[in-house]
Structure 1
Amino acid sequence: MPVIDATFYPLIVTARPDDSLYAMPPAGSDMGAARLCPITEVRPGDWVLGSHERALNPNRLDTLMQSVACFPALPVTVNGAVALDGQTPHWDTWETALVIPREYIPAETYANRLDGYRLGDHVERAFIYDPMHADRRDSVGTARPLIQRGIITAVEDGAFTVEWAGYWANGRITETAMRLTDPAAVARERDAFGFAVGDTVNQEKNGVCGPYATGVVLELYYSPYGAQPMARVFWPGSAWDNYCHYDFVPTHVLGHVVAPNRYDVTSRQQYAPTA
């Protein structure tokens, strides 16, 4: 077959969709740096563009795709599967990923902090949660990946301190990855549930927030019965449970103790929470 030269046509991007379902890599990303790698080698902050359900083979031409927008990785491997987003163990360990390495993402992007964390940074970690007691969400012996959010409260000589929101008392956790919190992910959670993981809440009574208990949202999910938005809330020092101090409640009975944090971690000058 004769070789046919490719013809390239320059394009000018006039608009970028801001809907998270159609999210693209951050503006200014070096698309020429996109590369294939085993899915187990994806690192926190790498941008995932697609995947393929076969192992990497340099002698074979494959098509990589996914039905969701690209996203920054927070990978966890558990039970023979990989959760590239830190929560959903959807990918098999032998699969291939198409990524833009974090080194080739613009420095103004929240996921790219090559010079270390800074005081006031909002961060999130992925961990493997191994429950010691069965409850509505977990069974003993079945570990699963989860995320937890926090704030950098001290940075000194390359070391830093994180104040994590809430406490997973009913089990053991093994931290696997950490990165800056994605503001878009926080916004999506609040749009869908009214709250985000890490928000401080209390119970509402007759539509008014009262001082009955103050807690922290540990995770959000939809009830298998009617798809009602639900939250697992940690109530520190409460008598909700004698070993874990958390409860499962519909989100409509919760209220914000303080206004939701509004913060911008894309700025290179200001990283502290803003009102």
Structure 2
Amino acid sequence: MGEDVRSMTQRHLGTVVAGASIAVTVGAVLVAVTLPGDTSGASPRDPAYGHAGYEHVRYGQGSAQGSAAGGDGAPPPGVVEPPPPRIADGSGTDPLTDDEIRHARALALSADPREAGEGVRGAPGPQPLSVDLAEVPPEEAGAAAPPRRAQVSSYDYRRDAYVTTTVDLASDRVVRTDTQRGVQPPPSRQEAVEAARLLIGDRRLGEGLRSDYRDATGRELTDPAQLTVTGFVYRVDAENPGPARLGACGRHRCVRLFSRVRNGPWIDTRWFVVDLSARSVSRLD
């Protein structure tokens, strides 16, 4: 992939100033220069380009000798070197590489712009959950090189919706986007941390957690980073009836926590439910 560099700007690396009795000599110079590449016909993901879409150009040795008559010494033409190696994309059913995961998230975001969603703390863009290798449909399973696709999952707190976007990693194309309400996948680590932050900050219901932490460590609990937390989805439905004040859980993103002092004992927080959509805390009686 990629294309040859069609043209290159010659850089003037030295200026020789000469007078009747003055001569300035510029010795051998080796300069490494990075110039923006001509991306008019190539993708920044093209192997001919580095991660940021730049060509790598090195100038060789050159010298310029001033004389009484004066003169400029121009460096020799630049030589295009191969870019630094990038992490290779996976193939077949190989796990997604870090590059593929980042690229899949960027593609999914282009299908669901930042202004169209909201994260768990109110930041623009839906809350990232996971990126997984998408299953190959039966009609494509026998192909010599079946399409390599990723499924990007996120939760949009603005709409209280679970969003899954399937992207084709080879063609940089969004295949489809599905939006569902009332579907609650397991919370991400960031969501569990935010639930702990809300519980710690609740003046009344967070007092027991703060007191237990103080008894265990002799210090005040002010930040979720002082804990190790794991979140579990809580929902109210026909199979799991709950108190009326938690009736929105299922439509809202509600979480229960298992908590422990970092590198220390467990603290029982199972009786609390944090509604991340409403940013409220309740206790199961």
**Length-normalised TM-score, structure 2:** 0.25
Question: In proportion to residue count, which structure has more helix?
Answer: 2
Greater C-alpha Rg: 2
**Length-normalised TM-score, structure 1:** 0.26
Question: In proportion to residue count, which structure has more strand?
Answer: 1
Q: Which has the higher contact order (CA 8 A, sep 6+)?
A: 1
